[in-house]
Amino acid sequence: MNSTLDNEAELFPSEFDLYLFHEGTLIEGYNMLGAHVMSHKGIDGVRFSVWAPHARAVAVVGDFNNWNGNANPLERIPNSGVWVGFIPRLKEGDLYKYEITTANGEKFLKADPYAFYSEVRPNTASIITRLDQYKWNDKKWLNNRDKADSYNNPMLIYELHTGSWKKKEDDSFYTYRELADEVIDYVVEHGFTHIELMPIMEHPFDLSWGYQITGFFSVTSRHGNPLDFMYFVDQCHQKGIGVILDWVPVHFCRDSHGLGRFDGTPLYEHTETKRADRPLWGTYSFDFTKPEIHSFLLSNLAFWMDVYHIDGFRIDAVSSLIYLNHDNPQQEKLFNQFGGEENLEAIEFIKKANEAIFKRYPGVLMIAEEATDYPLVTAPTSEGGLGFNYKWNMGWVNDVLKYMQLHPSDRRYHHNLLTFSFFYAFSENFILPFSHDDVVHGKKSLLDKMPGDYWQKFANLRLLYGYLMTHPGKKLLFMGGEFGQFSEWKELEELDWMLLDYDSHAKLQAYYKELQHFYHMNMSLWRLDHEQEGFEWIDPDNHGQSVITFIRHGKRKGDYSIIVCNFSSEVYENYRIGVPSTGSYIEMFNSDSVDFGGSGQINAAAITVEKTSAHNQPYSMTIKVPPLAISIFRKETKKRKRGVVKK
């Protein structure tokens, strides 16, 4: 991609590009539309191009012409709705907007829908910007990514809000470069494989967290310029970290400079008010009946991967894309032409987008945040699926957090909340997310959700994290969870880093680091995440003692881990579990280690297997089960000896 067009580039878009744009398949629309530095007839300047089919006139205004709408009118390309013009001697950094004259003569200003950079809020002008000036150093990463098999490799995602991870003493934001110099090493040290950024596209309101966007092609100027963000991504790749962006194709905010009623008519939103309005969010829905909206969003996906080398997207609110009435309270329900509640055009777009992106970038991630039981979300489109390669398992999150908030003495009555997820764990390629949504709006932090006294809260959280790491599926954790952020997320303040001065929080952070490194080192915990063969129950039914026992299998014969989770506050001595083979087992990991803040109820010696069958296994062994803790056992071998577990 070359955002700065070649010298003496054609001023007008090609007929073929216009055809693709109106067909809904122009995947590089950011080259055709927007503001591009170029040379025309030997004169340096900027070509502007914008889609405004119902406008009577369009002009470019800015600081270079005193915002005078008569100075630089654009020319309409017949039968296209696209307006084009070249303004000589403009330079990078100049501010601009489009002055739209509607069919009835009204005039107003709009930011460029394809702007590559924007003023820092509350200012709203677009900024002429070149995106071809950064020298990338991540070719090896990109080559390896395209060959990678994410399904059969570790995936540990750190969800990051750039505005509140850390802030400066004067309460200002870290720049992208400053974040790169601090957060990437932190993420690497903890064993994460990816950073997922909450939306970094330009948005006017901090409290929207970026989910109500005005500049889909514009990296937010809160933290610097496009080259600064390229540096951030490049540094992630050079240190082995993938970058995932939150992407919001379901709606956009109504701010006057944004996409709403762009040419005086509903253009990016639906022409029917009840289909356009999102009253719950105060936004407009994209109109997927228009092929030009398909081209806009398709090219936006490709833009972030082409220009910024992004490794994947977490697509927000997919349920609200699929269903007309999901999270969309209206006086009257909406229905499609066949009487159903599915948004058929949006579903068509989802499939088209996934097909196009995977054809272009086979190794990237397309992750659906989808909260319903819609089938085949991660199945290929050729098999009737939506074509994502991952889906957030929000049912698991809801069930396990509901369970963990119960007092241990009451958990026996709700044991199914622990075990139900295994009935569908392999129906999709799941990611298990403890995300920002779980720690805001009065829901409390993960640590504060845990019942009991101070010690029990930390023990419960260590157990929860252990269960997360051993349950089938890839993993995601929102920032601050790794050290036990005690208050819920405050988007205008930095994380409570001073908590690390307290022993319990420091030990929790050490625990989380070691847990993730243990996960990396044990292929059985991730090699068959999405296959039934990777999981086997030993005992799912001990609700009386609130204990579950299961096996995670790797690909190689004999590569397996036995996991024992005790969700009660009792210590169980001489607890018998079935095992699949003879020999001896050693406890490789125990969340009740004193080093992690636990009570030290560990299995210090190798455990000899008995020939007594149990739990449909041919052999068994007796172990000590620590309170509110997870224990992980593996077969003792010549290479795998005692001494790994913390005492």
Q: Please tell me the predicted confidence (pLDDT) of residue 9.
A: 54
Cα–Cα dist 646/262, whole Å: 62
- Helix ranges (DSSP H) in 471-546: 503-521
| Backbone phi, psi, residue 104, to 5° | -100, 10
Residue 382 C-alpha from the chain's centroid? 25
Mean pLDDT of 145-149: 89
**Edge-to-edge strands of the sheet including 560-566?**
535-542, 547-553, 560-566, 629-635, 584-590, 607-608
- Print the domain residue range for 604: 533-635
Q: Are residues 142 and 87 in the same domain?
A: no
Q: Please tell me the predicted confidence (pLDDT) of residue 331.
A: 83
Residue 199 lies in a domain: yes
Active site residue 369: yes
Q: Are residues 59 and 154 in the same domain?
A: no
Q: Are residues 282 and 311 in the same domain?
A: yes
Residue 472 C-alpha from the chain's centroid? 19
**Edge-to-edge strands of the sheet including 283-285?**
251-253, 283-285, 277-278
Q: If we measure between CA atoms, which residue out of 546, 537, 548, 630 comes closest to residue 579? A: 537
Catalytic residue among 234, 316, 482, 539: 316
Write out pLDDT tens, residues 213-255: 999 999 999 999 999 999 999 999 999 999 999 999 999 999 9
pLDDT over 70 for what percent of the chain? 97
Q: Are residues 80 and 168 in the same domain?
A: no
Residue 501 lies in a domain: no
Write out pLDDT tens, residues 402-432: 999 999 999 999 999 999 999 999 999 999 9
Q: Are residues 97 and 147 in the same domain?
A: no
Instruction: Please answer whether residues 216 and 165 qualify as being in contact, where contact means their C-beta atoms are separated by less than 8 angstroms.
Output: no
Confidence class for position 646, pLDDT limits 50, 70, 90: very low
Q: How many domains does the chain have?
A: 3
Q: If we measure between CA atoms, which residue out of 123, 127, 142 comes closest to residue 217? A: 127
Q: What DSSP character marks residue 171?
A: S
Q: Are residues 121 and 145 in the same domain?
A: no
Catalytic residue among 196, 228, 234, 369: 369
Q: What is the CATH number of the domain that holds 588?
A: 2.60.40.1180
User: Which of 127, 161, 188 is the last residue in one of the domains?
Assistant: 127
Residue 545 lies in a domain: yes
Residue 3: pLDDT above 60? no
- Exposure string for 170-200, b = 16+ CB within 10 A, e = fewer: eeebbbbbbbbeebbeebeebbbbbbbbbbb
Q: Are residues 79 and 187 in the same domain?
A: no
Q: If we measure between CA atoms, which residue out of 447, 480, 462, 435 comes closest to residue 601? A: 462
Instruction: Please answer whether residues 393 and 531 qualify as being in contact, where contact means their C-beta atoms are separated by less than 8 angstroms.
Output: no
Write out pLDDT tens, residues 57-76: 999 999 999 999 999 999 99
Residue 640 lies in a domain: no
User: Which of 127, 154, 170 is the last residue in one of the domains?
Assistant: 127
Mean pLDDT of 338-354: 97
Residue 469 lies in a domain: no
Active site residue 316: yes
- How much is the mean pLDDT over the chain? 95
Residue 153 lies in a domain: yes
Higher pLDDT pick, 646 / 246 = 246
Q: Are residues 244 and 156 in the same domain?
A: yes
Q: Are residues 98 and 159 in the same domain?
A: no
Residue 593 lies in a domain: yes
Residue 570 lies in a domain: yes
Mean pLDDT of 278-283: 92
Q: What is the CATH number of the domain that holds 385?
A: 3.20.20.80
Q: Are residues 160 and 98 in the same domain?
A: no
Cα–Cα dist 161/30, whole Å: 26
Mean pLDDT of 187-202: 98
Cα–Cα dist 542/548, whole Å: 6
Residues 6+ apart with CB under 8 A from 82: 13, 18, 21, 33, 49, 50, 51, 76
Q: Are residues 358 and 327 in the same domain?
A: yes
Confidence class for position 6, pLDDT limits 50, 70, 90: very low
User: Which of 127, 146, 162 is the last residue in one of the domains?
Assistant: 127
Q: What share of the chain is helix, strand, coil (3-state, %, to 5)?
A: 30, 25, 45
Q: Per-residue DSSP letters for 385-440?
A: S---SEEE-HHHHHHHHHHHTS-GGGGGGGTHHHHGGGGTTTSS-EEEEE-GGGSS
Instruction: Please answer whether residues 529 and 588 qualify as being in contact, where contact means their C-beta atoms are separated by less than 8 angstroms.
Output: no
Q: Are residues 167 and 288 in the same domain?
A: yes
Mean pLDDT of 47-64: 97
Strands 82-88 and 34-40: unpaired
pLDDT over 90 for what percent of the chain? 93
Write out pLDDT tens, residues 80-98: 999 999 999 999 999 999 9
Our CA dihedral for 393, 399, 402, 403, rounded to 10 degrees, sits at -130
Confidence class for position 641, pLDDT limits 50, 70, 90: low
Q: What is the CATH number of the domain that holds 111?
A: 2.60.40.10
Cα–Cα dist 158/291, whole Å: 35
Q: Please tell me the predicted confidence (pLDDT) of residue 638.
A: 73
Cα–Cα dist 425/408, whole Å: 25
| Backbone phi, psi, residue 109, to 5° | -105, 140
Instruction: Please answer whether residues 331 and 57 qualify as being in contact, where contact means their C-beta atoms are separated by less than 8 angstroms.
Output: no
Cα–Cα dist 344/357, whole Å: 20
Instruction: Please answer whether residues 4 and 36 qualify as being in contact, where contact means their C-beta atoms are separated by less than 8 angstroms.
Output: yes
